[in-house]
Amino acid sequence: MPEVREIAATTPGMPASDGAGVRMTRIIGTPELNLLDPFLLLDCFESDRPQDYIGGFPSHPHRGFETVTYLLAGRMRHKDNAGNEGVIEPGGVQWMTAGRGIVHSEMPEQEDGLLRGFQLWVNLPARAKMTAPGYQEYPPSGVPLEEREDGTRVRVIAGATSEGTRGVVRNDWVKPTYLDVELPAGAEFEQQVGTDDNAFLFVIEGELAVGDGREPLQHRMLGILGAGDTVRVGSVGGARFLLVSAQPLREPVARGGPFVMNTREEVLQAFDDYQHNRF
Ligand code: FE
């Protein structure tokens, strides 16, 4: 018998500003939800007002974790000190392993129009925090799309669906699942997840009915899922949502802005290394 996960908690996140005045909703990494191990942060950008995003994220460092940028609308150009550069387009994904250190910029490649997307920070285990920086980027056409008979469409960024479609991103550390699911009206969706995983849903459009309890999860809400091995959701009127899960690391987390390490000393070392051009 599948053990179906029910909603354990919900949060709408809170308004935040980061980079050079980019306005967003911070959903994980807030006083209310500081951490959903191994997920350190989830930001949602959604604005058609250039003043909300035009400043972008000029040159800044990261160490100790991975950043996953997934766009739904608009374009972002990124550039880093390892010589990587590219433009993320709607439906495209960039998975950056900061490891021991990277310095990059993330700037909107547009002067007006809608910019919409997500940035998720995935923690690295202690043994991988100082690994070499790495970088995986895929255009929309490179992200596997699973189309089911009932009209459900699943974009598989990482992990694998219960029907066997494998995600494009390789991850050797926390082996996350990251799905973008479009559910037609009346359809049901089921996905196996590890019993040990922390898992969440975020509703991009419409409204979900979650678990056997059919608990409603509204537009722009994050739902943290409780224990179980199966995620089961439906939608009366149709919905689009993210399903993200991974095994928790259960290690100490020391945060210092763009650096996330295991101890305070390691964070101070990161600031020192950055200031002395050792990235
Ligand atoms: Fe960044």
Cα(181) to ligand 1 centroid in Å equals 26
The β-bridge partners of 70 are 93, 118
Cα(67) to ligand 1 centroid in Å equals 7
Contacts of 104 (CB under 8 A, 6+ apart): 59, 60, 62, 78, 79, 80, 81, 84, 96
CA distances, 45 to each of 22, 26, 69, 99, 245 (Å): 8, 9, 11, 25, 21
Cα(224) to ligand 1 centroid in Å equals 25
Q: Do the beta carbons of residue 226 and residue 182 sit within 8 Å? A: no
Cα(142) to ligand 1 centroid in Å equals 22
Domains and CATH numbers, the chain: 7-275 (2.60.120.10)
- Cis-peptide into 139, omega within 30 deg: no
- pTM, two decimal places: 0.97
DSSP letters along 132-177, please?
PPEEEEE-GGGS-EEE-TTS-EEEEEESB-TT-PBPS---SSS--E
The encoded tokens of residue 138 equal 């895929």
The pLDDT of residue 235 is: 96
Tens-level pLDDT at each residue, the chain (279 residues): 899 999 999 999 999 999 999 999 999 999 999 999 999 999 999 999 999 999 999 999 999 999 999 999 999 999 999 899 999 999 999 999 999 999 999 999 999 999 999 999 999 999 999 999 999 999 999 999 999 999 999 999 999 999 999 999 999 899 999 999 999 999 999 999 999 999 999 999 999 999 999 999 999 999 999 999 999 999 999 999 999 999 999 999 999 999 999 999 999 999 999 999 998
